[in-house]
């Protein structure tokens, strides 16, 4: 018995020391939790893989010129270490690098749930209090990856079932969703909302609605997808909590009858399951993870919506507006970091900058800047540092020169993602501001997806565009 108690005491002591170390690291600003999310097809997996790759292989091939701790010669090394949150899936960095290292290289599989990877970055302090307490310092970096669809669900926390149904109804009745959703809406309208609920019927409706969401995202290139867990259910696949749909026809129900509807009625069950989803899934994500993030990066693919048309681009605008509603902002200092960490830096990155010529990078950044312009004013007021960048996590093209109608033009050379053929193209111009109607009529842009050109070894740095600037913005102030 004494031996068992001794073992328990040792385990308890170890946990206490681990927790104490975590608090001390936060107090000394030696820990940062970076959240990474992205809207549809933005390339989260490639981004996190590249971010980790640049740090653990720093100095192997490509210098991080805009990362001050490297430029000043104070960077020592970075390595992966066991993550602190053992209940979260480990980000599969090795699997991603294996895909990029094979011949020919291919894109790694996208992640479908939350995952995490932890790094320890060792450096020589220069300006902070640590300079006077030790020769070297270590910054622990937790990188948490979660689907952008989950982020888009957070506004549901402030919506009743009626409000959410009205919002979804407005979207479903507008093109291009309307044509695709017509049969579903007609079937839904024919059901007596006060009739006894049929769980099998509701499961079929939820499956049909889920397929609509997938079509909206994959076929139409739309960004506003709610509820996000329907297309990325994870451990909740097949659970009744994911078997509900919006009901845009509430005006057809007497208000008193609606309020009195029991949970065993069709409308009552829809409402009950929506509320359960909101509280059990959306709020739990907020409580467990989101409120603990220190810094957030949101990846957005602006090029595919431009290629898909006005509706897809408008939907991207709407998705970004929803995202901006979701953050708990507040100036982060040492005291607040100990007890209530808040996001104090927000980076919006336009991905796939290598899919346009370098002279269009400024326009790509300016376009994203326009998309987040309204929110930026309030963020500045709340002392949130915000930045927009055009980046390529893994550079897949090379730039060259050609002639068109006797005039020199800049072109891109790369391998098409759909057929692996090497091509040389002029993709066209990116609008430097929100496109007007004539832009869509002219169709002056032709976006093509590319795949990695060259395999690299796991000990080489991936080719990239501006990942060093990303690192400087997210970590620069922690490495002084």
Tens-digit pLDDT profile for residues 434-479:
888 888 877 667 788 899 988 888 788 999 999 999 999 999 999 9
Can you say how many angstroms the Cα of residue 108 is from the centroid of all Cα atoms in its chain? 16
CA atoms within 13 A on the CB side of 133: 6
- The two tokens of residue 462 are 């991936």
Report strand pairing: 31-38 vs 137-145: parallel
CA trace torsion 188, 194, 196, 197 (10° rounding): 40
Of 76, 83, 149, 82, the closest CA to residue 110 belongs to 149
- Neighbouring CB atoms inside 10 A of 347's CB total 21
Q: Which helix (H) or strand (E) holds 14?
A: helix 2-27
pLDDT at 135 (0 to 100): 78
Of 450, 347, 471, 354, the closest CA to residue 50 belongs to 471
Q: Do 479 and 76 form a contact (C-beta atoms < 8 A)?
A: no
Nearest-angstrom CA–CA distance, 250 and 257: 11
- The two tokens of residue 19 are 């927790």
The reply to whether omega before 426 is within 30° of 0 (cis) is no
pLDDT at 11 (0 to 100): 57
User: Per-residue b/e over 142-174, b at no fewer than 16 CB within 10 Å?
Assistant: bbbbbbbbbbbbbbbeebebeebbbbbbebbee
**What confidence tens digit (pLDDT) does each residue in 44-89 have?**
999 999 999 999 998 666 779 899 999 999 999 999 999 988 888 8
Of 118, 113, 470, the closest CA to residue 298 belongs to 470
| Long-range contacts, 17-22 (Cβ 8 Å, 24+) | 18/84, 22/84
pLDDT at 10 (0 to 100): 56
Identify the structural domains of the chain with CATH numbers, from first to last.
25-146+289-397+457-478 (3.40.50), 159-285 (no CATH), 398-451 (no CATH)
- pTM score: 0.86
User: Per-residue b/e over 412-432, b at no fewer than 16 CB within 10 Å?
Assistant: bebbeeeeeeeeebebbebbe
Q: Do 292 and 327 form a contact (C-beta atoms < 8 A)?
A: no
pLDDT at 18 (0 to 100): 47
CA distances from 104 to 45, 62, 455 (A): 19, 22, 6
Residues lower than pLDDT 50 in the chain: 1-4, 16-27, 132, 328-339, 341
């Amino acid at each position: 018995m004494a031996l068992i108690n001794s073992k328990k005491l040792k385990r308890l002591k170890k946990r206490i020391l681990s927790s104490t170390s975590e608090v001390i690291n936060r107090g000394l600003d030696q820990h940062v939790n970076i959240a990474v999310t992205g809207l549809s097809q933005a390339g989260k997996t490639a981004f996190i893989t590249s971010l980790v790759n640049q740090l653990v292989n720093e100095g192997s091939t490509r210098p991080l010129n805009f990362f001050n701790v490297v430029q000043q010669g104070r960077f020592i090394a970075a390595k992966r270490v066991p993550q602190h949150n053992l209940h979260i899936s480990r980000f599969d960095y090795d699997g991603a690098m294996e895909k990029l290292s094979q011949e020919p290289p291919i894109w790694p599989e996208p992640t479908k749930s939350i995952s995490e990877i932890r790094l320890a970055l060792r450096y020589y302090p220069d300006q902070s209090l640590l300079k006077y307490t030790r020769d070297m310092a270590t910054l622990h970096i937790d990188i948490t990856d979660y689907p952008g669809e989950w982020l888009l669900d957070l506004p549901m926390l402030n919506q009743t079932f009626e409000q959410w149904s009205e919002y979804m109804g407005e979207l479903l009745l507008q093109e291009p969703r309307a044509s695709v959703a017509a049969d579903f809406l007609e079937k839904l309208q024919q059901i007596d909302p006060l009739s006894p609920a049929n769980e099998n019927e509701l499961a079929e409706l939820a499956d049909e609605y889920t397929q609509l969401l997938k079509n909206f995202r994959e076929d139409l290139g739309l960004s506003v997808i709610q509820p996000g867990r329907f297309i990325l259910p994870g451990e909740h696949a097949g659970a009744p909590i994911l078997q509900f749909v919006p009901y845009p026809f509430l005006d057809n129900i007497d208000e008193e009858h609606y309020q009195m509807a029991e949970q065993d009625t069709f409308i009552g069950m829809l409402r009950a399951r929506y509320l359960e989803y909101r509280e059990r899934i959306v709020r739990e994500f907020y409580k467990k993870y989101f409120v603990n993030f220190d810094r957030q990066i949101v990846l957005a693919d602006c090029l595919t919506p431009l290629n898909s048309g006005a509706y897809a681009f408008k939907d991207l605008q709407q998705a970004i507006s929803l995202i901006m509603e979701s953050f708990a902002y507040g100036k982060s200092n040492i005291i607040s970091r100990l007890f209530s960490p808040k996001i104090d830096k927000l980076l919006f990155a336009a991905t796939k900058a290598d899919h346009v010529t370098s002279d269009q990078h400024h326009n790509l950044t300016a376009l994203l800047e326009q998309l987040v312009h309204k929110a930026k004013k309030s963020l500045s007021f709340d002392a949130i540092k915000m930045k927009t960048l055009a980046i390529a996590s893994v550079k897949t093209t090379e730039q060259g020169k050609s002639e068109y109608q006797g005039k020199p033009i800049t072109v891109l050379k790369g391998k098409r993602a759909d057929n692996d053929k090497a091509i040389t193209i002029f993709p066209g111009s990116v609008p430097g501001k929100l496109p007007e109607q004539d832009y869509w009529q002219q169709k002056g842009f032709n976006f093509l997806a590319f795949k990695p050109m060259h395999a690299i070894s796991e000990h080489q740095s991936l080719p990239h565009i501006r990942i060093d600037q990303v690192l400087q913005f997210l970590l620069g102030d922690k490495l002084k």
